[in-house]
């Protein structure tokens, strides 16, 4: 039972940053903007969260710094793509490269420093319940926040007028503009929300998953989060299921290596990314279904009439 509990705990921990980053990107893409800079925003959030925690001694302030850093760097993407109508794909890729380089420069002096871990919740009596105690009542705060974000985004998109407006912009920004909706302002808010979520996902890596700073510690998780949005057909609850599926694959390969299974370790390490490619290939086979679920204005620049 202890082994099963530990495996489930590691899966939930591995899935949390994927879920948060993917939920943020889902909102961005629902507004019609394609931001491929999730990896760069995550790594900036990771280094800023770690640095702020070491300098202040408070992982809570570190978490806040990561959120602010992710939102600010996403604002740069917004200025280039929304105000200046730059190509979204090229700008997103540039943002990833900028984030990786900038994080390496910021975090150079923090390499090898012992981190401060964000404390987990502990409820006397409940946390000791066999199997479910630590899973339900002994997680870190960012885990619970990831579930709240999933529920909140699902409710916002499909149960509120503002969510309907956001989806309308993503489906046809020209018609939304003709109805008097401020397309650019709403897209700015969506982009900054996605950046804040990516920053928080990065903070989970450097404050919970492995409380330390290592250059490029996101290790491609931002790209997996992007794939998750497509895998989930832009639906929040499907993102939740997909995040835990990919988390299980990531952790499964570690346990397989620990058990000494006769498969090259390099292949096992590549399994999460191989699973991403396989899922995208399967999804792309049904082109009609993909087009039905994809926001019609996704990736298209919008310049309001002067």
User: What CA–CA distance (Å, rounded) separates 290 from 61?
Assistant: 41
* Closest residue by Cα to residue 269 from 280, 283, 258, 281: 258
Token reading at 240: 């939740």
Q: How confident is the model at residue 23, as a pLDDT?
A: 97
pTM score of the predicted model: 0.91
User: What CA–CA distance (Å, rounded) separates 171 from 182?
Assistant: 15
Residue pair 228/100 in contact (Cβ under 8 Å)? The answer is no
Token reading at 98: 């900028």
Residue pair 28/155 in contact (Cβ under 8 Å)? The answer is no
Domains defined for the chain, CATH in brackets: 2-293 (1.10.3470)
Q: How confident is the model at residue 278, as a pLDDT?
A: 80
* Closest residue by Cα to residue 52 from 99, 121, 122, 118: 118
User: What CA–CA distance (Å, rounded) separates 286 from 80?
Assistant: 33
Q: How confident is the model at residue 49, as a pLDDT?
A: 95
- Beta-carbon-side half-sphere exposure of residue 250 (alpha carbons within 13 Å): 24
Residue pair 170/297 in contact (Cβ under 8 Å)? The answer is yes
pLDDT of the chain, 306 residues: tens digit per residue: 567 777 888 888 899 999 999 999 999 999 999 999 999 999 999 999 999 999 999 999 999 999 999 999 999 999 999 999 999 999 999 999 999 999 999 998 888 888 889 888 777 766 667 677 677 777 889 999 999 999 999 999 999 999 999 999 999 999 999 999 999 999 999 999 999 999 999 999 999 998 999 988 998 899 999 989 988 889 999 999 989 988 888 787 776 666 666 667 677 677 777 877 787 777 777 677 666 778 989 989 898 875
Q: How confident is the model at residue 258, as a pLDDT?
A: 67
What contacts 10, CB < 8 A, 6 or more positions away?
A: 251, 254
Q: For residue 22, which phi and psi values (nearest 5 degrees)?
A: -70, -40
Q: How confident is the model at residue 257, as a pLDDT?
A: 66
Token reading at 274: 């191989």
Q: How far is CA 230 from CA 35, 57, 66, in A?
A: 13, 39, 26
Task: Report the C-alpha dihedral over residues 278, 39, 229, 19, rounded to 10 degrees.
Answer: 100
DSSP 225-286: HHHHHHHTTT-HHHHHHHHHHHHHHHHHHHHHHHTT-SS-HHHHHHHHHHHHHHHHHHHHH-
């Amino acid at each position: 039972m202890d082994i099963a509990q530990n495996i489930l705990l590691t899966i939930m921990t591995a899935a949390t940053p994927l879920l948060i980053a993917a939920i943020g990107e889902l909102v961005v893409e629902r507004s019609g903007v394609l931001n491929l800079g999730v990896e760069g925003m995550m790594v900036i959030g990771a280094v800023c969260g770690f640095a702020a925690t070491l300098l202040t001694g408070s992982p809570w302030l570190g978490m806040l710094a990561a959120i602010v850093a992710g939102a600010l760097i996403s604002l740069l993407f917004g200025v280039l793509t929304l105000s200046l109508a730059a190509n979204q794909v090229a700008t997103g890729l540039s943002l990833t490269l900028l984030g990786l380089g900038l994080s390496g420069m910021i975090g150079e002096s923090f390499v090898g420093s012992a981190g401060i871990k964000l404390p987990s919740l502990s409820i006397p009596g409940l946390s000791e319940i066999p199997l479910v105690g630590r899973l339900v009542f002994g997680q870190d705060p960012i885990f619970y926040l990831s579930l709240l974000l999933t529920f909140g985004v699902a409710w916002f998109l499909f149960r509120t007028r503002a969510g309907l407006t956001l989806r309308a912009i993503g489906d046809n920004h020209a018609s939304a503009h003709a109805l008097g909706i401020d397309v650019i302002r709403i897209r700015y808010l969506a982009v900054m929300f996605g950046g804040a979520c990516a920053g928080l996902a990065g903070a989970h890596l450097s404050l919970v998953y492995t409380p330390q700073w290592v250059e490029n510690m996101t290790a491609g998780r931002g790209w997996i989060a992007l794939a998750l949005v497509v895998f989930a057909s832009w639906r929040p609850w499907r993102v939740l299921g997909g995040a835990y599926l990919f988390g299980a694959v990531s952790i499964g390969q570690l346990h397989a290596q620990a058990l000494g299974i006769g498969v090259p370790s390099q292949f096992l390490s590549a399994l999460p990314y191989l699973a991403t490619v396989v899922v995208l290939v399967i999804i792309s086979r049904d082109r009609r279904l993909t087009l039905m679920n994809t926001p019609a204005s996704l990736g298209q620049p919008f310049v309001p009439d002067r």
